[in-house]
Amino acid sequence: MTRDQLLRVSRHFRTLEEVMRWSFTSGCALVEVVTQDEYTHDVVLSMPAGEGYLVFDTT
């Protein structure tokens, strides 16, 4: 998936649930959820075939 395709898809995510549903159907794997504080988490996903990583900042 290209950077432009990722930007087009990800701009519509509003919740962590939407991110996770998309990740499972797109072949991404959850790497880690980093807790920043009680309200903020960073969600790290690895792209299929070693294409890179995606990080979502969620509140």
Q: Is the pLDDT of residue 51 over 90?
A: no
Rounded CA separation 3/58 (Å): 20
**Judging by beta carbons within 10 Å of its beta carbon (0-12, 13-18, 19+), is residue 16 exposed, middle or buried?**
middle
Percent with pLDDT over 70 in the chain: 100
Read off the pLDDT of residues 8-26 as tens digits, 9 standing for 90 and up.
Answer: 888 888 888 888 898 889 8
β 29-35/41-46 pair status: antiparallel
Tell me the average pLDDT across 47-52.
Answer: 84
Q: What is the mean pLDDT of the chain?
A: 86
Rounded CA separation 6/41 (Å): 20
Q: Is the pLDDT of residue 6 over 90?
A: no
Q: Is the pLDDT of residue 31 over 90?
A: yes
